[in-house]
Structures are given as structure tokens and as C-alpha cells.
Structure 1
Amino acid sequence: MARLVMIISVSLALFHLITSFTGPLVTLQHRALHTGVVMALVFLLYPSRKNAPQTRATIIDFLLAILSIATIVYIFTDYMGIVNRAGLPSQNDIIFSLLMVLLVLEGGRRVVGNGLTVLCTLFLLYAYFGPYLPRVVAHRGYQIDDIASYLYLTTEGIFGTAIGVSATYIFLFILFGAFLNRTGMGQLFNDSAMAISGHTAGGPAKVAVVSSGFLGSINGSAIANVVTTGSFTIPLMKKTGYSKNFAGAVEAAASVGGQILPPVMGATAFIMAETLGMPYAQIAIAAIIPGILYYMGVLTVVHLRAKKLGLKGLSRKELPRMKDVLKERGHLLIPLIILIYMLFGGFTPIYAAAWAIISTVVISLLRATTRMNLKGLFRALEDGTRSALGVAMACAMVGIIVGVASLTGFGLKMTSAILILGNDTLILTLFFTMIASIILGMGLPSIPTYIITSSMAAPALVQFGVEPFVSHMFVFYFGILANLTPPVALAAFAGAGLAGGEPNKTGFISLKLAAAGILVPYVFVYSPEMLMQDADALSILLIAITAIIGVMALAIALEGYLLENLNWVLRVISAIAAVVLVIPGMLSDAIGIVLFAIVIATQIIKRKRMTQAEA
């Protein structure tokens, strides 16, 4: 069983590596092969229920895996017939279409969970019962045959954009992350962060923020990032004195933020570039200031909490030296440098990722501690494929949702609903778009989240004259933050599980830590200069400086501490200062600086009085 899974996994990984150089197959065939093999692996690796055998596949599992492969074989053997019969499916077309939809739902249920499966089922029911629904969402309705064949035989449904990016960008970048992990890149990030900030107040929490941010940008999975990095950082945070809920929240917030942090941004930037027809480099550059603001907010809250509780860092003796860390594993940064150089040098992301993987193998040979032998190579290929299964199945399920939305016009109806709720006011429309993005993003990985929110929620902002790129960034941010938003906050729940905390409490603390991520998207809608759009260097620098100060003021207001505890009046003043500082403009900046100066001066005076009283 283990050998079978390894052979299939390695074969799929090699297929994607080879086609990154030779070019993909015909679109429908390439995506079908990717989906079918992924589903076969899911049925072999993920049990159908909790009381089913956990370490071996049952006869039913093998049967479902074989049927998954059959869906590929059918498309390959009768491809020209499928093309010629477009819109007029045969009996066999309908049978395989229904089979594919059911397999995707069952495979997705096993690996992604019930939430997305229920959502897909609701969309399928919506497609069928359209004529019987309220007028605002009603449509003419479609027969089961029409729905299934549209989802299986075209590139608008299951084999649409979502699975297309899974079969190209996502798979290769997850594979790249697996190779880096095998060579010890995660250890390099952890040790580097420990060497830089481990000795400071609340050092382990800052280590979690820094290392999770870097790793999360590359591996593209917030939950996987929480589990891998958190298994090391969360026990250290608890040992230092942070509560279990706060420790889990720090790891969750830092891991989620990796999706919005250049240069890789969890691979979503590549999809955005393709969707909008923009150069990847332009998107990565635009995301720099918002990404910095997000992490400045998290680090400030972490630092203030440590000072408030009197927490210390780790002793220098317990920490690695940066010189030793770089000597031992610093060469592993070379593949990342190669990747960034190729991405900004005009190469396609697929080609850049493939060369980054190859360079990782070669560079790992420089030291015995990072060297990959043949067994390690095969393990990395298998690890990468296994890590990609959840995202790939989520993308296939998202294909059902997007396909039904395209078939029925649901996307246009949702845009109209947001505009009606917004009452022709941009700020209200932004608010309801935020709510829609969070709801649509609940329980989903970042990439499927972006695909759904950009197709269903972002168009509402475009109606107000917001630039498409800015509107896509807005919904992307809030789709990402859905991983921290109770009641379905997957990243926060993962952090709570590792820390032994309470899931919803961890989720709300995560939201406080990620407060900058809630505020900043509103700002760059009104002032695209924050995304470095049509602005000179001086304006960008001024916006960055005042926004950073504003984010720090927001963290102080939320934590209620600077040099000493703040009363509610000073917290309100600090919050107002944060909002006006983040909003670009000379007047707003001046008001914000004055208000923030009042808070700082009051704290200094209070600290002096307390010192004198103690003396």
C-alpha cells in the first residue's frame, strides 16, 4: 500500500515537473489527469469515516480510486468526441459527468471537510431548483444532466481556473516547499528568528511571527504552517509565560499573514496576475507595504503583551548564533534567491518554480546536514504531492461553485445584492463586500478563497470605480482573514489544538493580532498609493511611515498598554490616532501625530510619577 501511494505520488510530481519544461497537455486533459490522480490518492489515504480503518484502504476505497482514474481515461480516449459534441452530451458523457461530480464531493468531504461539501451541495441544488426560489436569486433552472455535463466536460466547472492553477502554479510551489523542508529550510528560518529576536521580551512569540511569516509565504498553506512551525514555537511561548490561547493565536495570525507577504504570497499572486493580466512583479511590489503593516501590528501586540506581563526572552546561552546558523544552512537561501530573481526577471512562475526545485536539490549537496540522497529525493516528491491533495480537492470543489455561479448568473446576483445593501455608498459597499468575502472564505485554503471572492464579491467594488487590482486585493485580504474569524477559523483552531486552548477565544485573539489586516484594505481602496500605484517615491515613503506609526497606535489601543496600562480615554485617543494616521493626507497625519503624542506624553508622565513614588 505504501509503495503504491509512493509510486502514484512520485509519478504525479514528476509529471508536473516535466510539463513545466515541455509545456502542459491540452487544457482539459491536463487538468483532468491532475484531478483524477489526486482523487485516487485521496481515496487511498483518507478514510471515509472515523471508525473506518485508518492505516489501510478498504475495497470501497480502491473501487473509488479506480473510478477516479476512469474519469481521466474517458477524457483521454474520447477527447475529440467530447469536443465535437459540445453542448450535446451523449449517454456516456452524462454517466461519467455524474460520476465525476459525486467523486469530487466525496473526495472533498474526506480531505477538506463537511463545510465546503455542504456549500457545493447547496450550489448544485440552487442550479436545479432555480425556478422555485425567491425572485432575487431565481433563474430558469437546469436539469441534472445539463449541470453535471457542464461541470465535467468544459473548462468552466470542475476543470476551471481553480483546478487549472492547482495543476500548474500551486502544485509546483507546494513541491518546492516540500524540498525546502526536506533540506532543513524550516530549521533555518526558526534558528535565524531565534538568533535575531529570541533574547528580547517575549522572544519566542516574535520568533513565531518572523519564522511563520517567511515559511507561510512559500508553502501557501496557513494550517500546514501552524502545525509545522507551531509545534516548535507554541511550547516555547507557553514556557515563557504567554497564555495558551494567546500562544495559539500568535502562531495562527503569523501563519495566515504569510499569504499576503511578498515575494511568493502563497502562490496567490501568480493567479491574480493571470486573472488581471498584470505582471507578477507589480503585484508583489504593491503588496510590500500592506504586508509590512500587518506584521508590524502583530509584532507590536506581542511585544506590548510581553512588557505588560513582565515576560523575558530566552538567555543567550539557549539561543543559536546567527553566524553558526548561516554557516550551517545559509546556502539554502540560494534557491530562494534564484526563485525571486527569475520571478522578477520575467520568467513564468511555473518555469521559475521548477528551476528553484532543481537548484534546491543541487545546493543541498554542499553540506552533509542538508544533503538529499535518492531516498530523500523520492520522499520530497511524495511529501509535495501529499501536501497538495487538500488544496487540489478544494480547488476541484470550488470549480463546482464557480461553475454553477457561471451557469446560473449567481455571481451577478450577488454583486447586485451587495450594491443594494451598500445603498450606493462606497464605505457600506466595502463593509458588505468584506462580510461576503469572510463568509465565502470560511473553511477554504487561501487560493480557492481568492478565486471565489474575486469572481463573486470584487465586481461590486468595480461598479464604484475602484480599480480591478485594488478590488481584488481588498477581497483577497478578507478572504484570508476568514481563517482567523470565528465560528469557522481553521488556522486559529489549529493553533488552539496545538496549544491546548479554546478555539473561539484563540480566534478572537487572532483577530486582535491581525487588526492591521482589517484596517489597511479600507485605506488602500481610498488611497491606492499605499499599493504603490501611480505615486512618487516621497509620497510612498510618507504613507509607509505614517501608516506604520498608525498600526502601532492601533496595537497600543487594543492591548491597552504602552509604558504603563492605559485608561479607556487614552485607548480611544490612541485608536482615533491610528485611524487618521493610516489614512493618507497631510491634515489627517498631523491630527494623528498630535493625538499619538498626547498618549505618549501622558504615559511618560505617569511612568515618572510611579518611579518617584517608588523611590
Structure 2
Amino acid sequence: MSKKEGTKNEQIDDVSVDEILEKYDRESTYRRNLGKWSWIVMFLAVSLTLFHLFTGYRGAFEARIQGPIHLGTALGLIFLLYPIKKGLQRKQKGVPWYDAILAIVALGVGYYNVIFYDELVSQKIVFGYTMMDYIVATLGVLLVLEAARRCVGLPIVFVAGAAILYALFGNHIPTKLFAHRGFSWEILSTDLYLTTKGIFSTPIQVSSTFIFLFLLFGVMLIRTGVGQFFNDLAFAITGRFTGGQAKAAVVASALQGMVSGSSVANTVGSGSFTIPMMKKAGYKPEFAAATEASASTGGQIMPPVMGAAAFIMATYTETPYSHIMIVAVIPAMLYFLGVFLGVHFESKKMGIVGFTKDSLPRMGQLMIERGYLILPLVVIFYTLVTGRTPMRAALIAILVSFLVSLVRKETRMSIKGIIHAFEEGARSALPVIAACAAAGIIVGVVVQTGLGGRIANGIIALGGGSLILTLVFTMIACLILGMGLPTTANYIVTATMAAPALILGLDVPVLAAHFFVFYFGIVADITPPVCLAAYAGAGLARANPFMSGVIATKLATAAYIIPFIFVLNPQMLLIDAEVWTVVFSVATSIVGMIGVSSGMMGYFIRKAYMWERVVLIIGGLGLITPNHIQDIIGVIMILAILLIQSRRPKDVIEKRKISMTL
């Protein structure tokens, strides 16, 4: 697919990609016209990137040095880039004086822990904190909350603020379940900012080591032109089949998800090209938006570069990221297969055939001309599997991406191009850093007050000891939190509060419990009523946002089922697994998803009556759960519908086939 064609499609709908991003993606509300401040922003951003490249090569500093340099520089950049109010990013020229002051204060407060490292580590234990320490700690907490508000959103600030109030006034809570002795502000603020118990706890430690370098790798890889290659490859694989336009969008999103982990950004970036094309093929605007949103959301679960939360999961579960990456392969493939099946059945029902074969890219020619572009992904996968640390693996992959960019003249990066890539890498990390820092406040309070154990006990009591009920309540909690929190923060909160209920109370394997909350934190982006990825897709498609979210939920039905499989059948995560049992479980899950997807979309080999849809869904669910009797019943139910529909006259559907200019 050519860029020219993509531009044409964008002009058909007359939609501004930037406007959609700024409306639905808080991360994109940065200032566009910095003026002379752009040099300062570039200096700080490039310096931050060089710092991480240096520590990636020599090894990270001690957490109380690495974290503050990482966060302090990021806070300074956030106040220079993100305005005090959403909507001012295009109106303001330069940086207002108050934001310049906040940036300077943020840098000073951030580097305070580094400058006075020895005193904070040793002397404070004996002599206690000074008034200056209290002032810096207070400013640090407030600046983190304000930075998170600007580039992440208000919900995470509300949750973090509620956690702070709970820590301060827990002694006034009447119920014994949640009451605690309470903390003074002096103790709380210093614990949160001057130690590694709060803001500089695990989330920021992971962000300052693994996550930043992997985000930079994604930026470097995109500059090699791999995005266009993935699009062309997706069309070469699926374009000529039933619903090739939508199927290519799913495959392209799966491929691009290997290097990018933002649901909304993926939806808008790919959707500006695929959504107009799907509408032209005959899909309803809501379906086109839902297809792109559900496929793009899966990018956060697609190895080798999953969402930022996956790196934090590796630390929380004390599991090497290489193992996290490997066990995530089967669930990710099942997720995209589920979306693919939904698209297939809808396309069959609508009679959308696909592109003519001679209008599509040739697979062999693509691989010969541009197949080398996947080399960085191969390298990062290989280095992780062979035991290299994530930092070293990312560093090697960044270097390979740069070398790959040199092959073609149009992607070759000059010194200026490298500087811009480094700046973009730092910018892309700012919302993640702010989210991790704010989530660190929540984690600090949960650990200090024992709130996590209390909530875990509450969930277990609410579920009455039933595993299924406890899973359902945990799922609801993840989806509700996901309405306002970014995936990373959502996972951190639920992993701290909800996952222990599954692990300690119901003996669920650690990795299965964490994958459960991880998945439901992600699919919140396409779950109504607040489904930002679906809303962003609807903005591009000029569709009804709520209905786009409903259809995205139908398409991504697998995403709501797979997490339950993790818990009920941990072998799907290769936990105590044997090859035969894994193969059998995957096979039955695939057949089950065919039943569920066909039932949800209302088409199997013919248009399905309502009772047939119910039978297909029940049979599919029976196959997905690990029980041989249910498997047999499920197969019988699906085969029965297949037999019934095969004896019915074929539906009269107008076939639609379009051509495409490359």
C-alpha cells in the first residue's frame, strides 16, 4: 500500500490525526510551538536518552541515583512541554514563566536525592530529616501529581490523592477492615520521596532501566520504515481473502504491536490509513473503528516489546522478562486470532471479498527487498532468550536498528536525524515515567498501611471462597480502574491489591494471577462506557463512539475469556506444562473461539438465528474451559449447528471486491 493511497484515504474523511490524538490521548497534548525553548527541550531530552544509553552499556546506578536522575529530568521536560490546561498546546507560543519556574524547581527537587545521596542514606537514619528535606519531599510529591495530571490525566491523580488521604487519616476510619494508625505528613512525604518505598519504588526503578530503552528501540525501529513494511506484508498475506481490508488491518496491528504499546496511538496511527479503506470496502463506520481499536489494543500483549506493564510484571513476579515474553506468545496469538475470526464472520455476512490478487504486494518480492527490516526484532528476541539482560538486549537492538536504517537512502539517519530520534525517544517516555511515579505513591501507601492485604481479604470474602466469583470481581475492578488509569498504572495498582487475593487466598499461580489483571487492564481501553481506543477510532471513522466500543468488545471477546483460561488452565502459560497438553489446550481453545466469535457476529457458514448464536457461544465456552466432558459437549454443539446450517440454502449476499493502486 503506497503512502500516496494512504494520504488519499485520509483526505476522503477530512480528519485531522493530530486533533483525534489530542482529544483522546492525553500523552499527545504537548506544546507544538516552543520557540527558543525547543533548544532547551532538545538538550534535556537528548541528555536523558544519552544517560540511559550510558547506563544500559555500563549498568544502572544504585536505585537512589538512577531513579531521581530519570524522574527529575522527565519532570523538567513535562513542565516545559505540557501546558497547565488541555487545549493550550496550540494556542501558547513558547513556555509561560510559571511553567519555566516549575521546570527548574522540578529539576532541583529531582536531583536533590542525587546531590545529598550520602546524607539521605546514612546520616538521616541517625539524625533524622531537616526542614529542607521536608520541603523537598513535599514539593516532590506535589510536582509528581501535577506532572501526572498534565500528561496522564486526572483519574490517576484522584486515586493517588485518595491514597495519600487514606494514609494521613486512616486512624479516623470506623471500620476495622480498613482502619490503621495513621501517618503524619512529615513521615509520609519523606517515605514517599526520599526513600525507595514510594515514588522511587519498583515502577520507577523498572522505568529508569528497562522501559526507557525499549521505548527508544521502538522509535528507532519505526524510523527504519518497518511500519510501512508491516502494512504491505499484512496486505500480501490477507488482502485477497474474505474481508481482506479488515483482516490486513488486524495483521498489520499485530505486527506493529511488536514495537509499540499504546492503544490510542496505535489506533490513530494505523487507523488513519486502514479505517477509510475499510469504509470504502463497505464496512460500517462503527465496525471499521472497532476493528482497528481492538487490533491496536492487542499491541500491548504482543512480544517481543510488550507494554510497559509487562516489564514491571517481570520484577513483581521475579520472573525474567525473556520468560514473560515467551509465555505471552500463545495468549497473544489467541487474542489476535479471536479478532481475526470476528472480522472473518462479519465479512462473510456482509459479502466483502477482498482485493484482487494482482493489486496486492508480492510476498516474495517484499521479503527480498525489505525483509531485512525485521532483523532488529529477531536480534532483540534472540538476545533476550539467550540470557542477556533486557537493558543489554535493548541496547544491542537499538544499534542494529540504526545500522538497518542505513541500508536505504530514504531511511538513512544523519546526525541531525539521530538527535531527533533521541529527543523523540525521551518524549515518548514522559507519560510512562509520570504514570509510574504517581503509581509509586499508591504502592507506597498500600505497602505502608497494609491496605493491599485488607483489600485482598475483602475480595476473597466478597467472592465467598469461590474462584470464579473472585475472578469476576477482580475483572470488574480492573475494568473500572482502566476507565481512567493508563495500563501501566492500572496494572501496578491491581497487582498490588487484587492479585494477592488470587495468589494467597485461592492458590492461583503467581504468573497466572498477574497475567489476569494485566490483560483486563489492557482491554479496558475497548470496554464501554469509557473506551478511549474505540473513541479514537470512532473519531477517525466519524462513527458513534459507544457503538464502536460495543462492537470492539464483541470482536475482542477472546480477550475477556483468555485471562480466565490462565487461571483455570495455567498450562496455557507454560506453567507445569507438557507439550501434548499445551497443543490440545490450544486446539480446543481455537475451536472454542470459532464458536464464540461466530455466535457473537451472527454468522457461521450461514447467517445464524438467535438460538443458533446462543448454542455456538455456549459450545465455544465449553471448549475453552479445561474439562474433557465440556470439550466433547462443545464440539457436538458446534458440529450440530454446522450440520444444520449446511443443509440450509445459501444466503443471498452481494459480493464486493475492490481494486487498489500500489
Give the TM-score range, shorter chain. Answer: over 0.9
Partner of 1:17: 53
Alignment check: 8 A CA contact 2:267 2:293 kept: yes
Partner of 1:31: 67
Partner of 1:382: 423
Amino acid in the other structure paired with 2:51: F
Partner of 1:523: 565
CA change 1:55–1:417 in 2 (3 A) is farther
Alignment check: 8 A CA contact 2:261 2:300 kept: yes
Alignment of 1:177-256 (within 5 A): 177-256=218-297
Partner of 2:645: 603
Q: Tell me if 1:580 matches 2:622.
A: yes
Q: Tell me if 1:75 matches 2:117.
A: no
SS for the counterpart of 1:199 is coil
Amino acid in the other structure paired with 1:97: A
Q: Distance in 2 between matches of 1:597 and 1:13?
A: 57
Partner of 2:15: none
Choose the corresponding residue for 1:592, options 621, 628, 634.
634
> Structure 1, residues 504-552: CA drift from partner, whole Å, max 9, x if none?
2222221111111111221231221222222221221111111101011
SS for the counterpart of 1:529 is helix
Q: Distance in 1 between matches of 2:569 and 2:436?
A: 33
Partner of 1:97: 137
Q: Distance in 2 between matches of 1:534 and 1:34?
A: 39
Alignment check: 8 A CA contact 2:606 2:651 kept: no
Q: Tell me if 1:310 matches 2:348.
A: no
Alignment check: 8 A CA contact 2:224 2:404 kept: no
Deviation at 1:254, TM superposition (A): 1.0
Moved more, 559-568 or 268-277: 268-277
Alignment check: 8 A CA contact 1:329 1:370 kept: no
CA change 1:212–1:3 in 2 (3 A) is same
Q: Percent identity?
A: 45
Choose the corresponding residue for 1:469, options 492, 496, 511.
511
Moved more, 235-244 or 86-95: 86-95
Unaligned runs of 5+ in 1: none
Alignment check: 8 A CA contact 2:64 2:200 kept: yes
Q: Distance in 2 between matches of 1:558 and 1:55?
A: 50
CA change 1:51–1:267 in 2 (3 A) is closer
Q: Distance in 1 between matches of 2:81 and 2:106?
A: 14
CA change 1:363–1:395 in 2 (3 A) is same
SS for the counterpart of 1:369 is helix
Unaligned runs of 5+ in 2: 1-36, 654-662
Q: Distance in 2 between matches of 1:329 and 1:401?
A: 46
Alignment of 1:405-416 (within 5 A): 405-416=446-457
Choose the corresponding residue for 1:493, options 525, 535, 539.
535
Partner of 2:16: none
Moved more, 548-557 or 440-449: 440-449
SS for the counterpart of 2:472 is helix
Q: Distance in 2 between matches of 1:195 and 1:303?
A: 17
Deviation at 1:42, TM superposition (A): 1.0
Deviation at 1:608, TM superposition (A): 5.4
Partner of 1:291: 332
Q: Distance in 2 between matches of 1:45 and 1:365?
A: 31
Task: With the length of structure 2 as denominator, give the TM-score of the two structures.
Answer: 0.89
Deviation at 1:259, TM superposition (A): 1.7
CA change 1:50–1:543 in 2 (3 A) is closer
Alignment check: 8 A CA contact 2:110 2:140 kept: no
Deviation at 1:166, TM superposition (A): 1.2
Q: Distance in 2 between matches of 1:199 and 1:361?
A: 34
Partner of 1:511: 553
Alignment check: 8 A CA contact 1:130 1:141 kept: yes
Deviation at 1:352, TM superposition (A): 0.1
Q: Distance in 2 between matches of 1:384 and 1:309?
A: 42
Partner of 1:120: 160
Q: Distance in 1 between matches of 2:178 and 2:94?
A: 45
Partner of 2:12: none
Q: Distance in 1 between matches of 2:160 and 2:313?
A: 23
Q: Tell me if 1:160 matches 2:196.
A: no
Alignment check: 8 A CA contact 1:216 1:266 kept: no
Partner of 2:94: 56
Deviation at 1:596, TM superposition (A): 0.5
Q: Distance in 2 between matches of 1:235 and 1:89?
A: 60
Alignment check: 8 A CA contact 1:209 1:254 kept: yes
Alignment check: 8 A CA contact 1:454 1:475 kept: yes
Partner of 1:42: 78
Q: Distance in 1 between matches of 2:413 and 2:650?
A: 58
SS for the counterpart of 1:607 is coil
Q: Distance in 1 between matches of 2:62 and 2:351?
A: 61
Partner of 2:212: 171
Amino acid in the other structure paired with 1:385: A
Alignment check: 8 A CA contact 2:203 2:312 kept: no
SS for the counterpart of 1:312 is strand
Alignment check: 8 A CA contact 1:209 1:251 kept: yes
Alignment of 1:443-454 (within 5 A): 443-454=484-495
Alignment of 1:253-268 (within 5 A): 253-268=294-309
Alignment check: 8 A CA contact 2:304 2:380 kept: no
Alignment check: 8 A CA contact 2:246 2:278 kept: yes
> Structure 1, residues 156-200: CA drift from partner, whole Å, max 9, x if none?
211111111111111111100100111111111111111111222
Alignment of 1:337-376 (within 5 A): 337-376=378-417
Alignment check: 8 A CA contact 2:606 2:650 kept: no
Alignment check: 8 A CA contact 2:446 2:496 kept: no
Q: Distance in 1 between matches of 2:268 and 2:431?
A: 15
Q: Tell me if 1:434 matches 2:475.
A: yes
Deviation at 1:51, TM superposition (A): 5.8
Moved more, 310-319 or 598-607: 310-319
Moved more, 549-558 or 462-471: 462-471
Partner of 2:18: none
SS for the counterpart of 1:289 is helix
